[in-house]
Chain A
């Protein structure tokens, strides 16, 4: 078969909704796009542990602490599912780590914001995980098999993340005046960055068209963002809180909520490394990797020793 035949077979599979698997022929750019997207996604899960890790030691009760630990452990697991999925495309784990640690690879900008109060644990679960779920549910049907399977697993686990976050806010919103104020301030801080999680608007997202053609993406950034706004408004009302957007208004004609303009300058600033915590996050990751070197060395040495020993025993026997 010629490259053109391979390309044609690939296009047909995509059109017929047949999943692409690791050893199938795929266009170079499809592979590259997926490696970029899946590894960014994995990095986001891993870096995403940091803002919440900040509160594990200060969770207000044992219940909250156990829940937060379980959630952070899930994020680590999600990172690992995704790294494995990316590895099926021919990039190594170490290469991906290096891209993260040298700042070459991006991760979701949301994790470059600080978590300054306990209410932020609630807002992150509700809004940040809520936005992530909106994205991830759509990706369960992405065309690359290992990515789709990882997404299915992740989505099953994410639901508790959002519910536990909402529960934190719900409980605080029934509390004292100070607690209610903490909730509102936290929502004010996290609302706009959560909307930014869906990425640039469609007319500024050059990769969207090709990704839609390849069925890597199923919906555009703006479609998913709108869907998120529509479901979140009602949830906010139940909390008795306000979303910080004076332009937010039901549009009968569109059947959707209208909302205000995102501050894209802030978005690009954080993407390009100038957010409040970009440096801190990368430093923490790099430090964890370097501090763990002796563990990796020791495990390697131990396995070598065991191999040697079992060789000797076989000889002796």
Chain B
């Protein structure tokens, strides 16, 4: 998440998410400055979809995004690493068995 020095006259920063085509999820594309949500969407169209990269845009003010702490990501994501039985390849099955 961009860490902004506060600057009174600067327009707020927004994060832009774009759905590239119907059926796919919105993906983070980048950020931009705008005075309000409507302007953020219009600017996002001009900045991030000049070549039909999107069919839908979400914007959210950067200050509303909360993120996990990268320095504690070890502890944060550790519980998953010792549970390999959650993956299908953990199970020993005969080669003849197909379509499973």
Q: How far is the CB of B70 from chain A (nearest CB, A)?
A: 5
Determine the residue in chain B with the shortest Cβ distance to A6.
Answer: B71
Among B32, B35, B69, the residue within 8 A (CB) of A80 is B32
How many A-B contacts if CB must be within 8 Å?
Answer: 67
Smallest Cβ distance from B68 to chain A, in angstroms?
A: 9
Whether A290 sits at the interface, judged by CB under 8 Å, is: no
Q: Quick check: B70 and A21 within 8 Å, CB to CB?
A: yes
Is the pair B32, A299 in contact by a Cβ cutoff of 8 Å?
Answer: no
Alpha-carbon gap, A94 to B70, bound state (A)? 28
Q: How far is the CA of A122 from the CA of B2 in the complex (A)?
A: 38
A22–B2 touching, CB < 8 Å: yes
Counting chain A residues whose Cβ lies within 8 A of the other chain, the interface size class is: 20 to 34
B7 CB contacts on chain A under 8 angstroms = 92, 94-95
CA distance A70 to B46 in the complex (A): 11
Contacting pair A73 B67 (CB below 8 A): no
Q: Would you give the shortest CB distance from A175 to chain B, in whole angstroms?
A: 31
Chain A residues 86-103 with CB under 8 Å of chain B are 87-88, 90-95
Among candidates A87, A150, A299, residue contacting B35 with C-beta atoms closer than 8 Å: A299
The dominant DSSP class at the A interface is helix
B50 contacts A73, CB within 8 Å? yes
- Which A residue's beta carbon lies closest to that of B15? A84
Bound complex: CA of A91 vs CA of B13, how far in Å? Answer: 13
Q: Does A288 sit at the interface, judged by CB under 8 A?
A: no
Q: Does B51 contact A (CB under 8 A)?
A: yes
Q: How far is the CA of A90 from the CA of B69 in the complex (A)?
A: 17
Residues of B within 8 A of A149 (CB): 30
Chain A residues whose C-beta falls within 8 Å of the C-beta of B19 in the assembled complex? none
Do B50 and A94 touch (CB < 8 A)?
no
Nearest opposing residue in chain A for B69, CB measure: A23
Closest to B71 in A: A25
Q: List 8 A-B contacts (CB under 8 A).
A: A24-B71, A80-B47, A81-B47, A84-B30, A92-B10, A94-B10, A157-B51, A300-B11
Q: How far is B51's CA from A74's CA once the two chains are assembled, in angstroms?
A: 10
Interface status of A303 (Cβ within 8 A of chain B): yes
Q: Is B55 an interface residue (CB 8 A)?
A: no
Which 3 residue pairs spanning A and B have beta carbons closest together? A88-B2, A303-B35, A299-B35
User: What is the bound-complex CA distance between A153 and B28, given in angstroms?
Assistant: 13
Whether, in the assembled complex, B36 has its beta carbon less than 8 Å from a beta carbon of chain A, the answer is yes
- Per the bound structure, the CA–CA distance linking A149 and B50 in Å amounts to 17
> Is B81 interfacial (CB 8 A cutoff)?
no
Residues of B close to A25: CB separation below 8 A:
70-71
Task: List the A side residues contacting B95 at CB < 8 Å.
Answer: none
A200 at the interface (CB under 8 A from B): no
Give the distance in Å from the alpha carbon of A192 to the alpha carbon of B3 in the complex: 40
CA distance A21 to B5 in the complex (A): 18
Told that A22-B2, A77-B50, A90-B5 touch, could you supply 12 new A-B pairs with CB distance under 8 A? Answer: A23-B70, A25-B71, A77-B46, A84-B31, A87-B13, A88-B3, A93-B10, A94-B10, A157-B50, A299-B39, A300-B35, A306-B36
Contacts of A24 in B (CB 8 A): 70-71
Shortest beta-carbon distance from A7 to chain B in Å: 13
Report yes or no: A81 in contact with B50, Cβ–Cβ below 8 A.
no
**Contact yes or no, B36 A23, CB < 8 A:** no
B5 contacts A92, C-beta separation under 8 Å: yes
Q: Which residues of B contact A81 (CB under 8 A)?
A: 30, 47
Residues of the B chain whose Cβ atoms lie less than 8 Å from the Cβ of A303: 35-36
Query: Across the interface, do B4 and A92 meet the contact criterion of CB distance under 8 Å?
Result: yes
User: In the complex, A296→B10 CA distance in Å?
Assistant: 9
Query: In whole angstroms, how far apart are the Cα atoms of A22 and B67 in the complex?
Result: 11
CB distance from A153 to the nearest CB of B (A): 8
